[in-house]
Structure 1
Amino acid sequence: MKLSFVYILKCSDDTYYTGVTSNLEKRLEKHHSGFYKDSYTYKRRPLELVFYAEFTDINIAFLKEKQIKKWGKAKKEALIEGRYEDLPNLAKKKF
């Protein structure tokens, strides 16, 4: 069974990058080295891995990555900090 990972990196400019990979170690190495010069993270190094989750189905990993990418900063930080009970409320719009 091959694992896939959804991960969140904290960038030096205090933003977050969310990605998906089947080899987390290798992918992090590419982010840190600046392998992809046109990538979001290239000019925002150094980077810190602040969250990752394992999946046995790559399709579910892709769905979760897309979901997290739509979230605001506060909701991503709740996930990173393990405040799962806060996630539903952070999804609601404030009027």
Structure 2
Amino acid sequence: MRNSVKSRFSAFLSSPSFLILRCEPARFASKDAGRMYDLHSAWVYMLQCRDGSYYVGSHRGPDVDVRIAQHQEGQGGEYTAARLPVKLVWCQPFQYIVDAIEIERRIKGWSRAKKEAMIRGDWDALPSLSRRRGGKPKQQEQTVRAPR
């Protein structure tokens, strides 16, 4: 992972603004034409499906509601189409789609408990839920010292 994305994601996770209850694109005024442009052109979102499972996806564009509507119509992919209706439970805007895709892939690897802690905004629980879930812990490399 690129260091800039990693540091932005770490700062993003530690921020209380990580949880967005209503996802609206931020806008800023253009000096040249007096138009409004979208500051966030990408989104990572999480849907809760009818069976209670979570689907994590990303969307390129200023309005995540367009993508959610596609999921509701069964056009969002096989996974969600088989589990309609779906409900948006979390989303976060990003300036660049590459950052959104990287974060989407990371969140997809999280446990259900960690995803639910993120949805609740329970930031204190995330470190303990980040520990290895299976197998033995990785052994620390030991340095061999020469006898004196």
Q: Same fold (TM over 0.5)?
A: yes
Name the counterpart of 1:20. 58
Amino acid at match of 2:92: A
Name the counterpart of 1:75. 114
Deviations 1:28-76 (A, max 9, x none): 111001125x521001011110000011121111110000000010000
When the two structures are superposed, what TM-score results if normalisation uses the length of structure 1? 0.90
Kindly report which structure 2 residues correspond to 1:2-41, keeping only aligned pairs within 5 A, or say none: 2-23=40-61, 24-36=64-76, 39-41=78-80
- Structure 1 segments of 4 or more deviating over 2 A? none
When the two structures are superposed, what TM-score results if normalisation uses the length of structure 2? 0.59
Name the counterpart of 1:65. 104
Separation (CA, whole Å) in 2 of partners of 1:59 and 1:22: 10
Larger Rg: 2
Tell me which protein shows more helix as a share of its residues.
Answer: 1
Q: Which runs of 5+ in 1 are unaligned?
A: none
Separation (CA, whole Å) in 2 of partners of 1:30 and 1:70: 24
Asked which structure has the greater RCO (Cα within 8 Å, sep 6+), the reply is 1
Identity percentage over the alignment?
A: 36
> How many residues in Structure 1 have an aligned counterpart in Structure 2?
94
